[in-house]
Chain A
Amino acid sequence: MTAPATTKKIRVLIAKPGLDGHDRGAKVVARALRDGGCEVIYTGIRQTPQMIAEAALQEDVDVVGLSILSGAHLELFPRVVEELKSRGIDDVLLFCGGIIPEEDTKALEQLGFSAIFRPGTNTQDIVKFVYEHVQK
Chain B
Amino acid sequence: MDNLVERFLNGERRALARIISRVEDGSAEGREYVRQLFPHSGKAHIIGVTGGAGAGKSTLTGALAGEYRKRGKTVGIVAVDPSSPFSHGAILGDRIRMQDLALDPGVYMRSMASRGALGGLAPSIEGVVAMLDAFGFDYVIIETVGAGQDEVEVAGMALTTVLVNNPGTGDDIQAMKAGIIEIADVLVVNKADHPGSDVLVSQLQALLSLAPPGQRRPKIVKTTAVKGEGLEVLADAIEEHREWLTSSGTLHDCRKEDAEHQVLTIARQILVERIQRSTPEVELQKLVERVAARELDPHTAAEQLAAAARE
- Is B90 interfacial (CB 8 A cutoff)? yes
- Is B95 interfacial (CB 8 A cutoff)? yes
In the complex, which residues 1-34 of chain B have their Cβ closer than 8 Å to any Cβ of chain A? 13-14, 17-18, 20-21, 25-27
Q: What per-residue 1/0 map shows which CB atoms of B277-300 lie under 8 Å from chain A? A: 000000000000000000000000
Contacting pair B102 A5 (CB below 8 A)? no
Given the known inter-chain contacts A36-B89, A54-B103, please indicate yes or no for A7 contacting B25, CB distance below 8 A: yes
Of A3, A42, A57, A89, the most chain B CB neighbours within 10 A belong to A3
Give CA–CA (A5, B14) in the complex, Å: 23
- Is A99 interfacial (CB 8 A cutoff)? no
Q: Give A2 Cβ to nearest chain B Cβ, in Å.
A: 3
Contacting pair B102 A44 (CB below 8 A)? no
Contact-size category for B: 35 or more
Contacting pair B25 A38 (CB below 8 A)? no
In the complex, which residues 72-110 of chain B have their Cβ closer than 8 Å to any Cβ of chain A? 83-85, 87-93, 95-96, 99, 102-103, 108-110
Kindly list chain A residues whose C-beta atoms are within 8 Å of the C-beta of B85: 1-2
Given the known inter-chain contacts A39-B113, A88-B14, please indicate yes or no for A6 contacting B26, CB distance below 8 A: yes
Contacting pair A57 B13 (CB below 8 A)? yes
Give CA–CA (A7, B108) in the complex, Å: 24
| Contact segment of A27-35, A63-71, A100-108, A111-119 | A27-35
Given the known inter-chain contacts A36-B87, A50-B103, please indicate yes or no for A42 contacting B13, CB distance below 8 A: no
Q: Which residue of B lies closest to A56 (CB)?
A: B17
Give CA–CA (A105, B269) in the complex, Å: 49
Kindly list chain B residues whose C-beta atoms are within 8 Å of the C-beta of A41: 92-93, 95, 111
Contacting pair B14 A57 (CB below 8 A)? yes
Of A1, A11, A34, the most chain B CB neighbours within 10 A belong to A34
Contacting pair B96 A39 (CB below 8 A)? no
Give CA–CA (A37, B89) in the complex, Å: 4
Contacting pair B89 A58 (CB below 8 A)? no
Select which of A2, A34, A60 is within 8 A of B20 by beta carbon: A60
Give CA–CA (A40, B20) in the complex, Å: 17
Q: Which residue of A lies closest to B27 (CB)?
A: A6
Kindly list chain A residues whose C-beta atoms are within 8 Å of the C-beta of B113: 9, 39
Q: Give B26 Cβ to nearest chain A Cβ, in Å.
A: 4
Contact-size category for A: 35 or more
Give CA–CA (A51, B103) in the complex, Å: 6
- Is B116 interfacial (CB 8 A cutoff)? yes
Contacting pair A44 B91 (CB below 8 A)? no
Contacting pair A59 B17 (CB below 8 A)? yes
Give CA–CA (A130, B18) in the complex, Å: 20
Give CA–CA (A50, B269) in the complex, Å: 40
- Is B123 interfacial (CB 8 A cutoff)? yes
In the complex, which residues 135-162 of chain B have their Cβ closer than 8 Å to any Cβ of chain A? none
Contacting pair A42 B89 (CB below 8 A)? no
Contacting pair B90 A39 (CB below 8 A)? yes
Contacting pair A5 B17 (CB below 8 A)? no
Contacting pair A5 B124 (CB below 8 A)? yes
Give CA–CA (A124, B230) in the complex, Å: 46
Select which of A37, A40, A88 is within 8 A of B91 by beta carbon: A40
- Is A128 interfacial (CB 8 A cutoff)? no
Q: Give B193 Cβ to nearest chain A Cβ, in Å.
A: 23
Q: Give B143 Cβ to nearest chain A Cβ, in Å.
A: 14
Q: Which residues of B contact A (CB under 8 A)?
A: 13-14, 17-18, 20-21, 25-27, 83-85, 87-93, 95-96, 99, 102-103, 108-111, 113, 115-117, 123-124, 269
Residue contacts A-B, CB under 8 angstroms, 14 given: A3-B116, A5-B117, A6-B27, A11-B21, A34-B84, A37-B88, A38-B89, A39-B83, A39-B92, A40-B91, A41-B95, A58-B110, A59-B111, A88-B14
